Amino acid sequence: MDEHLPWHEPLWRQIQERRAVGRLPHALLLGGPPGLGKLSFACRLAQALLCESPGAAGDACGQCRTCRLFRAGSHPDYSRVQPEDEQKSGEGDSSAGDTGSGKKKKSKVIKIDQIRDLCAFLDHTAQYGGYKIALLEPADQLNVNAANSLLKTLEEPPGACVLLLVTARPARLPATVRSRCQLIRFDRPATEQALPWLTARMTGDLDPATVLDVAAGSPLVALSYAEGDRWRRRRELADGYDRMLTGRLDPIQAAEQWMQGDLAENLRWLIGWHTDLIRLKMNPEPPRLSHPDLSPWLRRWTARQAPRILFERLDAVVQLYTLCTTAQVNAPLLLEAFLSEAAGDDQSGVQKTSV
Ligand SMILES: [Zn+2]
């Protein structure tokens, strides 16, 4: 994305002011919620720092030799580090074992070998005589050994180099790494700034303010809801959930519906709804809901249950999400069990309230 996002501008100016007086930190930790464009900011900064004739606002010219190399992904003084597959129970980093046999649990991490390569890269003099730039994203995926091997470079950076660590979860980085970086904190923009930006980019008949609410104020997340079929999926799931709770859809069929598409996202919706149910139970007119457009359904669901059950169900959904996203489990089975219990609770809840 080449567009400059309006909510970035104060941070951009701060960094450029520091650069102008020669006080640019050698390690920046770009942290804040997802959907704010932290990575595009980091790329913009990397290109600007490498550019041979940046403009008045500090941006890259886009024309010079180094800008062309940067865009082609072949600038010799720029290195981007991304997580690689790791075999959970394997012996280190060998890739030779990956023959596709058996089911090996893989997770994505930034490994120590990648960081050693990066430190060697930073140790060499810049080929174009300017900065050497490293971009690590998502930086919270540094494994422990990789983070430790980065410490020395963070402490005694070799020459003119800038490390850009991008993460939506700064707290997951070791404190030793965090304390050696200057935090650049990205906050969700004010609605007055986010809404016009979003409205100008949304097509179709969805209400931008509602989509922005459901995206918790993150404009890029909101735009992705509006552009793809995620919004429609969410409504379908809510409709299915309603039919299941009122005995019109079998929990097993409902589980099949939940297993379609991105299960982690589906379960995040479910967590959001259940959080809203508790908000509504505590206060029928809560100051905000995560899913205001689903309010009629949410109100119906919350009316059917005692607070204790709603809290228990939220716990169960969070647990379901954690299990399904971090462990090797039989997700359809767990989902069926959860949905059957929720449907059962609601049927008995109705009987109780009607007695
Ligand atoms: Zn340039």
Task: State residue 185's pLDDT score.
Answer: 96
Single-letter residue type at 141: Q
CA of 192 to the centre of ligand 1 (A): 33
- Distance CA(283)–CA(18), nearest Å, equals 47
Q: Which residues contact 267 (CB under 8 A, 6 or more apart)?
A: 258, 317, 320, 321, 324, 325
CA of 59 to the centre of ligand 1 (A): 8
- Distance CA(304)–CA(270), nearest Å, equals 17
CA of 55 to the centre of ligand 1 (A): 9
Are 321 and 264 in contact by the 8 Å Cβ rule? The answer is yes
CA of 312 to the centre of ligand 1 (A): 57
Task: State residue 254's pLDDT score.
Answer: 94
CA of 33 to the centre of ligand 1 (A): 30
CA of 65 to the centre of ligand 1 (A): 7
CA of 190 to the centre of ligand 1 (A): 32
CA of 7 to the centre of ligand 1 (A): 23
- What residues are paired with 135 via a beta bridge? 80, 164
Q: Is residue 177 exposed (0-12), middle (13-18) or buried (19+ Cβ within 10 Å)?
A: buried
The angle at the Cα of 227, spanning 184 to 261, to the nearest 5 degrees, equals 95
CA of 253 to the centre of ligand 1 (A): 56
- Distance CA(263)–CA(335), nearest Å, equals 10
Task: State residue 237's pLDDT score.
Answer: 96
SS3 labels along the chain: CCCCCHHHHHHHHHHHHHHHCCCCCCEEEEECCCCCCHHHHHHHHHHHHHCCCCCCCCCCCCCCHHHHHHHCCCCCCEEEECCEEEECCCCCCCCCCCCCCCCCCEEEEECHHHHHHHHHHHHCCCCCCCCEEEEECCHHHECHHHHHHHHHHHHCCCCCEEEEEEECCHHHCCHHHHCCCEEEECCCCCHHHHHHHHHHHCCCCCCHHHHHHHCCCCHHHHHHHHHCCHHHHHHHHHHHHHHHHCCCCCHHHHHHHHHCCCHHHHHHHHHHHHHHHHHHHHCCCCCCCCCHHHHHHHHHHHHCCCHHHHHHHHHHHHHHHHHHHHCCCCHHHHHHHHHHHHHHHHHHHHHHHHC
Are 87 and 97 in contact by the 8 Å Cβ rule? The answer is yes
* Residue 65: both structure tokens together: 């030799």
CATH of 6-85+106-185, one of 3.30.460.10, 3.40.50.10540, 1.10.150.120, 3.40.50.300: 3.40.50.300
* CA dist list (Å): 196 to 1, 224, 316: 18, 16, 38
CA of 113 to the centre of ligand 1 (A): 32
* Domain range 229-347, CATH class: mainly alpha
Task: State residue 99's pLDDT score.
Answer: 37
CA of 37 to the centre of ligand 1 (A): 21
Are 263 and 322 in contact by the 8 Å Cβ rule? The answer is no
Domain boundaries of the chain, sorted by first residue: 6-85+106-185, 229-347
Block mean pLDDT (10 aa), the chain, length 355 = 86 95 95 95 96 94 95 95 72 40 59 93 90 95 92 88 96 94 96 96 92 94 91 94 93 93 94 96 93 95 92 96 89 93 74 45
CA of 157 to the centre of ligand 1 (A): 25
CA of 80 to the centre of ligand 1 (A): 19
CA of 64 to the centre of ligand 1 (A): 4
Residue 126 backbone zone (phi > 0: left; psi -120 to 50: alpha; other: beta): beta
CA of 49 to the centre of ligand 1 (A): 9
CA of 32 to the centre of ligand 1 (A): 28
CA nearest neighbour of 107 among 81, 149, 142? 142
CA of 68 to the centre of ligand 1 (A): 7
